């Protein structure tokens, strides 16, 4: 009976893992397709579609744009989140609970609505669509995360060290850069990479707020209009690969350290 239960559990896990990985396997496998369509039978492996994808200037520039937007918007989100967390953790503020709630509010609103609101305001002010506009949107969605993660890691034990530094004559900004930030670096690093992955994968805000120069998910979206193609598979596999690298960096550098 026990053995039977074990077998059932194993088979169930295998089926669900299969379900979870099926689309990824199909995506990556047919990115190496030698012929024109990413459907069976598989003729390969061939790298021609990776060559086609990397030789496509629109796609490579979209890839660079995506990385730029992800890096810059994440840096801004981490910086603003860190400063705010420091302010709320170290000072008594009137209405602190309300303001903390305000900072995390965007978490419960869908990206579509955030993007549309920004589009309305930018339209109204005559700000043209651009990568910077999308970057502003990405800061809005990532700032709550960066703030919440950093704030949760700001404990009492750091207060004494900060006070000691201040007694020794350090100015506020010196305390922040030499004491607080280094002590919090796992939290800062985690928020940065989490923001990077979210920005890198985000579609609808970038779709609404950019026009000619756009990010990779939006460019892939326009590739879809021409139907299934191994070239799209190749780009999709690259996007997936980069996301996985970001997650692995996060896992290895931050979470593992905390566990030990």
Partner 1 sequence: MAGGGTVRDALAARLRPWFFTGPALLWTAGFFVLPFAAMAIVSLWTLSGSGIDRSLSLANYSQFFTNRSYFQAMVNSLEVTAIVTVVSIILAYPLAWILSERVPERWQRLALILAVLPFWTSYVVRSYSWLLVLAEKGIVNNALVSLGLLSQPIQLANTRFATILGFVHFFVMLLTLTIYASLKQLPASYRRAAADLGANGLQIFIYVVLPLTLPGIVVGAFLTFVLSIGDYITPQILGGGNELLMPQLIMMQIGRRGDFPLASALSLVLMAVVTAAYLAAARWLKLERT
Task: Give whichever of 186 and 217 is closer to partner 1, judged by the CB atom.
Answer: 217
Residue from 32, 209, 236, 254 binding partner 1 (CB under 8 A) = 236
Task: Reduce the DSSP state of residue 1 to 3 states and report it.
Answer: coil
Say which residues have a Cβ less than 8 Å from residue 3's Cβ, sequence separation at least 6: none
Query: DSSP letter string over 208-258?
Result: HH-SSS--HHHHHHHHHTT---HHHHHHHHHHHHHHHHHHHHHIIIIIHHH
State which of positions 133-162 bind partner 1 (CB under 8 A): 136-137, 139-140, 143, 147
Torsion sign, CA atoms 13, 15, 19, 24: positive
Q: Is 195 in the site for partner 1 (CB under 8 A)?
A: no
Site string for partner 1, 42-61 (x = CB under 8 A): --------------------
**Binding of partner 1 at residue 183 (CB under 8 A)?**
no
C-alpha 136/C-alpha 132 separation (Å) is: 6
Q: Select the residue interacting with partner 1 from 112, 159, 161, 164 (CB under 8 A).
A: 112
Among 87, 164, 171, 258, binds partner 1 (CB under 8 A): 87
- Position 260 contacts partner 1 (CB under 8 A): no
- The alpha carbon of residue 209 and the mean position of all alpha carbons in its chain are separated, in whole angstroms, by 18
Q: Does 208 bind partner 1 (CB under 8 A)?
A: yes
* Residue 72 in contact with partner 1, rule: CB under 8 A: no
The one among 18, 45, 171, 251 contacting partner 1 by CB under 8 A: 251
**Nearest distance, CB of residue 239 and partner 1, angstroms:** 5
Listed as own residue / partner, the contacts of 183-186 with beta carbons closer than 8 Å and 24 or more positions apart are 183/158, 184/82, 184/150, 184/153, 184/154, 184/158, 186/153, 186/254, 186/257, 186/258
Please select the residue that binds partner 1; options are 7, 83, 159, 164, rule is CB under 8 A: 83
Task: For residue 84, state whether it binds partner 1 (rule: CB under 8 A).
Answer: yes
């Amino acid at each position: 009976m026990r053995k039977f239960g074990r077998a059932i559990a194993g088979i169930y896990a295998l089926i669900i893992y299969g379900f979870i990985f099926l689309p990824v396997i199909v995506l990556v496998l047919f990115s190496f397709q030698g012929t024109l369509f990413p459907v069976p039978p598989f003729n390969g492996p061939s790298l021609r579609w990776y060559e086609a994808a990397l030789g496509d200037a629109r796609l490579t520039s979209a890839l660079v744009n995506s990385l730029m937007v992800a890096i810059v918007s994440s840096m801004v989100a981490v910086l603003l989140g860190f400063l705010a967390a420091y302010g709320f953790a170290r000072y008594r503020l009137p209405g602190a609970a309300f303001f903390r709630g305000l900072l995390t509010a965007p978490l419960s609103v869908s990206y579509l609505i955030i993007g549309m609101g920004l589009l309305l305001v930018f339209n109204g002010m005559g700000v043209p669509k651009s990568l910077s506009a999308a970057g502003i949107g990405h800061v809005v969605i990532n700032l709550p995360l960066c703030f919440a993660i950093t704030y949760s890691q700001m404990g009492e034990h750091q207060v004494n060290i900060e006070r000691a530094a201040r007694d020794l004559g350090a100015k506020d900004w010196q305390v922040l850069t030499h004491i607080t930030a280094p002590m919090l670096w796992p939290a800062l690093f985690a928020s940065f990479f989490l923001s990077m992955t979210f920005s890198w994968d985000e579609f609808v805000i970038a779709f609404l707020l950019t026009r000619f120069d756009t990010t990779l998910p939006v460019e892939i979206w326009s590739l879809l209009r021409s139907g299934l193609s191994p070239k799209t598979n190749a780009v999709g596999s690259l996007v997936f690969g980069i996301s996985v690298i970001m997650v692995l960096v996060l896992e290895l550098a931050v979470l593992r350290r905390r566990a030990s």
